[in-house]
Each structure stands twice: as structure tokens, then as C-alpha cells.
Amino acid sequence: MKPLTTRDVQAFQAYIYRFFTHFGRSHLPWRQNYDPYRIMVSEIMLQQTQVERVVPKFVAFMASFPNLASLAVAPSSSVIRHWQGLGYNRRGLNLQRAAQAIVVHHNSQIPSLLDQLLDLPGIGPYTASAIQTFAFNLPAIVIETNIRTVFIYHFFPDGYDVPDAVLLPYIEQTLDQDQPRKWYSALMDYGTHLKQVVPNPTRKSKQYVKQSPLVGSNREVRGKILKVVTQQPVTRKQLYNEVNLERDRITTALAQLIVEGFVKNDHGIITLID
């Protein structure tokens, strides 16, 4: 990359912060309190899920599981019920398993070290860096779809198939070391805005992957099964009738859910795990 001058960095930061001052999403509930537990919950909920869908689920989840200890000891069935509607239900169980691991191995304190965060169930590189930044205000290098959008739009306007490796030096050089939490919030809000006014900016990223449609997918079958079982225990025959899809697909998805610890078959009755 061509190194940015101090003036370049200052101008870019000033531009992003001006937008944030006028249009930043200060109303988001996880920005009202930067408690590490709240940040961890919000970041896992926000994986592959739009902010608008997450907000009400986050508020309800925090009301039922207000702290790490309450989540760690809650029945897994309750966690799954509260996760309904967010999709990718495995995230809910992994979140609880992460809480349990933190209680056991970190004295109920969410760690700030990258390696320790990455050891937790369901925590990948982005989520770990985001927790470092938003929970602890540490200047980690964070990259996700909205941040990619901003840097491609400003520094590679004619680019196509731009890899993260090319963007990372720009992200590192422009990072506000004193206010990383505020800086990344501003970048993400501006990236969200760009997606609304610029045609398909994320498609210029090499990391862009079009999300597979839900309809007809195994994910749809799993979601339908969990929706039924969340409401009440059912027999396998009742499940087939309620889900109303090909029986072989239901059987396969049900077996997966049993192995993964979402549901159990208790003498012919399908129920959520305890």
C-alpha cells in the first residue's frame, strides 16, 4: 500500500467522526452500557443477523439472563427459546457454553486477551477482536462487512475482488488508538449507511459470499423443528405433521439436532434438552 500521510489519516478520521456525530446509532442498547457480558451477547447475536432483528431479542435476552452467572446456570431449553427468531440457533448454545467456560476457567470474568477469547465456544477471530474493542476499549484490528465497505469505498473505489490482506494495513494505520470503541462504532455506522446509498459495495470484497437462501435449506428444516419443539413436546409423527416437509429431510435434521444437544428423544417424545 501507499503509506497514508498524517494529514490523510486525520482527514479520513474527521470525515467518519462527522458522520457519526450526526447519524451515529447511539440508541442501540448494547451501546448504553459497555459491560463485557452485554458486549459478548450482542456480538454473538449480531453474527450474520441484521441489527433490526437483534435489538428486541437482545433486550428480552438481557431481561431474562442479566449477567453471566444467570446465563451459565439457566436451562438450555430456556436459552433456545429466547434465541428463537434470530436463526443460527447453534450460536445460542455456544453462548451459554462460553459463559459456563468463563465461570469455570476465568472466575466469571470475561477475558480481554485474544487467545483466551478464541478458546471460548463460538468465539472466532472477528468476535474476539470486537469484544476486545467494545468491551475493553482496546485497539484491536477489527474487520467485518461494514468496515470492508468503508475502506473499499474510500481507498479502492475502482477495485474488485479486494482481499482483506490489502485492507488491513489501511485499517491499522487509520485506527484511533485512543478511542477504538468510538472509532469502530463510527466505521460500522457509516458502512451501514453506504450499503443503503451505494449499489452492492460489499460485492467488491474478495470475502463476499452471497448468503444461501433459507427456503429449501437444511437450516430451514432445523428451524422449523425447533419452533415446533419449543412450543411443546411432540411425538415423531406429530413432528412430521407439524413441520410438513419431506420426511427424510426432517429425520436427518432431527438426528443432527439430537447429536448437537438441542433436543432429545425421550421414549418417543421429542423435547428440548433440559
User: Exposed (0-12), middle (13-18) or buried (19+): which is 165, by Cβ within 10 Å?
Assistant: exposed
Collapsing DSSP to helix, strand or coil, 108 comes out as coil
Q: Indicate if the alpha-carbon torsion angle 162, 200, 134, 82 is positive or negative.
A: negative
In terms of C-beta density within 10 A (0-12 exposed, 13-18 middle, 19 or more buried), how is residue 63 classed? exposed
Query: For 146-202, what is each residue's pLDDT tens digit?
Result: 999 999 999 998 877 889 999 999 999 999 999 999 999 999 999 999 999 987 777
Under DSSP, the state recorded for 213 is P
**Alpha helices, DSSP H, located in the chain:** 6-23, 36-45, 51-64, 68-73, 76-83, 90-105, 114-118, 125-136, 145-155, 164-174, 180-197, 218-231, 236-243, 247-259
pTM for the model stands at 0.87
Supply the residues annotated as catalytic.
43
Cell of 140: 484491536
- Percent of all residues in the chain with a pLDDT value above 90, rounded to a whole number: 68
The C-alpha angle 252, 216, 83, rounded to 5 degrees, equals 75
Tell me the pLDDT tens digit for each residue of 96-151: 999 999 999 999 999 999 999 999 999 999 999 999 999 999 999 999 999 999 99
Distance from chain centroid for Cα 71: 17
